[in-house]
Structure 1
Amino acid sequence: MMHLDDMALFVEVVKAKSFRGAAEALGMPNSTVSRRISMLEKALGLRLLHRTTRRIELTEAGQVYYERSKRIVEEARLAHLELGDMLAQPTGVLRASLPVDFAVTYLAPLVAEFARLYPGISFEIDLTPRRIDLVSERFDIAIRMGEPEDSHLIARPLARLVPHLYAAPSYLALRGEPISPQDLGRHDCMGMIREGHWMLTRGDSQCEVPVGGRFHLNNVGMIKRLSTLGLGVILVPEEIVADELASSQLQRILPDWQGKPMPVYALTETRLLPAKTQRFIEFLREKLASKR
């Protein structure tokens, strides 16, 4: 199979009617052009050009090869132009799996902004915490919080979210506001199932606080909702409770202390991504970084 580059070079030689003219147009040595055309003829087993001291002329085989090659090279050029247009203005369906609460609270405005920037992209969005199979389920991308579990996927870091402590004003009016991390031991602290302690830091200080309460769940949205109803203290990134803070349903407590930063990753099955997915990852990375 001939390389497309050799076809394109042959077409340029014919158009220029000389090796020298083609070499000057392409910015390569005249000897290189002559050698590559000779190698092309040898590979084909046919002479394509009659060479004279002043000019070149097509053989019968060369005329046929030129007509075919010219169309192929032009089609390839148009294909590259179209791909360039797709990179500049990507199109297609972007299938994304997003974490429920982070998506609804925080990512939704960003997705809307991205959609306005790229009107040629449509979206199929799956809000789920489950582990998806990017290959068999044909997802382009999954956004996940926490360290990635599947080493077979390509994980691209987007941000690191810092958890803080929050509680409803009604809960604090009833139970009082903690003034130190150790005070959390006498409070109802709502966390994920099997979460028996919180690691908190303040500058260089660090403490591990045993926590407990009546509720242990596996859904951040439910944890957040129960906290707004006055049922306990939660440790989550501000991005998750932005609306509840704005409406004063929750307030921050122990403001000098924070939890362990939570990474956010974009997971893909391969490093070779279509333009729509590349642009989405770049957009989220830029936006998430600017909001830190």
Structure 2
Amino acid sequence: MEFLNVMALFVEVVKARSFTRAAETLGIPNSTLSRRISELEKAIGLRLLHRTTRKIEPTEAGQLYFERCKRIVDEARLAHEQRGEMLARLSGLLRASLPPPPPDFAIFYMAPLIAEFAQIYPGISLEFDLSPQQADLISDPVDVVIRMGEPPNSNLIARKLASLRCGLYASPRYLEASGEPAYPSELINHECLRLRGAGANRWTLSNGPDNEQVDVGGRFELNSVAMLRRLAWLDLGVALLPEGIAAQDIAGGKLRKVLPQWQASPEAVYALTETRLLPAKTQRFIEFLRDKLECA
């Protein structure tokens, strides 16, 4: 058990790249942590860390040792958390990184789900980060990262939560004034409210068997789905929106579906974690989001 404890200390130092930050995370004196790691190096006969005044870096042997220690420590921590009532009564602090600003997905989709999750599991405290920097699951205090779009190739574990269906929407007054397109190709004659990024001026639409790419244009291009929705309310054009966001506007008469037989490419949502060995609270949060978002 003592050796496992020292391995856990070593893992935290490598993750933090700093004795000071690791000591703060662990709640022990910096001098004690440094001494324990030195004792570990002597015990196994290997130098594990390059120490400088600015940062800590693992040696080649230290990196290999870290990767093995981390798996062992993760498995031991998971086994400990799953003892007794941990699975029956979930508790603890869950830290999640949500899609960064513009926070449209977090506001429209995540906020109601977070409220429901918090009500079901009152023992779990929740901490969310919406900063624009990509969270680092190795060094940042984050349990899970939620992101839109296909994840980049990496060593992270990606779990697909949903594919959000997207369609075309406009206000009734806009369609009365400008006419309603009968075919995707007619969108070139309309004011199209476009989300900034790749594919902003060319939309790919599908009606099942057929796919069609259409060139679109207009005066408005921006980086916020919330603003696109608002401009569509104000009769300024046709917007490409996730169906879950537009559903309330359809029911309230603010928007109407355009080309209802056609859909845009769905938007994928993923949960990213550092390991497959997840605490019960993190695993349940991911499962909850997947169950709810699949119905969105």
Q: Residues 134 and 168 (structure 1 numbering): CA distance in 2 closer, same or farther, change over 3 Å?
A: farther
Q: For structure 2, which runs of at least 5 residues remain unmatched after alignment?
A: 3-75
Aligned to 1:69: none
Structure with greater Cα Rg: 1
Residue 279 of structure 1 pairs with residue 284 of structure 2: yes
Residue 124 of structure 1 pairs with residue 127 of structure 2: yes
Cα distance in structure 1, aligned partners of 2:251 and 2:81: 48
Q: Which shows bigger deviation, 83-92 or 254-263?
A: 83-92
The residue correspondences of 1:174-189 to structure 2 (distance < 5 A) are 174-189=177-192
Residues 13-37 of structure 1: CA deviation (Å, up to 9, x unaligned): xxxxxxxxxxxxxxxxxxxxxxxxx
Residue 210 of structure 1 pairs with residue 215 of structure 2: yes
Q: Is the 8 A contact 2:81 2:279 kept in 1?
A: no
Aligned to 1:61: none
TM-score, normalised by the number of residues in structure 2 = 0.67
Match of 1:107 among 107, 110, 113: 110
The residue correspondences of 1:259-278 to structure 2 (distance < 5 A) are 259-278=264-283
Q: Is the 8 A contact 1:105 1:243 kept in 2?
A: no
Aligned to 1:257: 262
Q: Return the offset for 1:136.
A: 3.3
Cα distance in structure 2, aligned partners of 1:257 and 1:264: 21
Residues 169-204 of structure 1: CA deviation (Å, up to 9, x unaligned): 222122111111011001111222242201111120
TM-score, normalised by the number of residues in structure 1 = 0.67
Q: For structure 1, which runs of at least 5 residues remain unmatched after alignment?
A: 3-75
Aligned to 2:92: 92
**How large is the Cα RMSD of the aligned pairs?**
2.6
- Identity of matched residues, %: 56
Q: Return the offset for 1:254.
A: 0.5
Q: Residues 183 and 97 (structure 1 numbering): CA distance in 2 closer, same or farther, change over 3 Å?
A: same
What SS does the aligned partner of 1:143 have?
strand
Q: Is the 8 A contact 1:160 1:263 kept in 2?
A: yes
Q: Return the offset for 1:206.
A: 1.3
Cα distance in structure 2, aligned partners of 1:258 and 1:130: 31
Q: Is the 8 A contact 2:172 2:256 kept in 1?
A: yes
Aligned to 1:133: 136
Aligned to 2:24: none
Aligned to 1:83: 83
What SS does the aligned partner of 2:83 have?
helix
Matched AA of 1:83: R
Aligned to 1:23: none
The residue correspondences of 1:1-292 to structure 2 (distance < 5 A) are 83-99=83-99, 100-127=103-130, 130-149=133-152, 151-194=154-197, 195-289=200-294, 291=295
What SS does the aligned partner of 1:272 have?
coil
Q: Residues 82 and 268 (structure 1 numbering): CA distance in 2 closer, same or farther, change over 3 Å?
A: closer
Aligned length: 218
Cα distance in structure 2, aligned partners of 1:168 and 1:175: 11
Residues 43-75 of structure 1: CA deviation (Å, up to 9, x unaligned): xxxxxxxxxxxxxxxxxxxxxxxxxxxxxxxxx
Q: Return the offset for 1:270.
A: 2.1
Q: Is the 8 A contact 1:192 1:219 kept in 2?
A: yes
Cα distance in structure 1, aligned partners of 2:226 and 2:130: 12
Q: Return the offset for 1:81.
A: 8.6
What SS does the aligned partner of 2:135 have?
coil
Q: Residues 239 and 130 (structure 1 numbering): CA distance in 2 closer, same or farther, change over 3 Å?
A: farther
Q: Is the 8 A contact 1:101 1:240 kept in 2?
A: no
Q: Is the 8 A contact 1:197 1:211 kept in 2?
A: yes
What SS does the aligned partner of 2:265 have?
coil
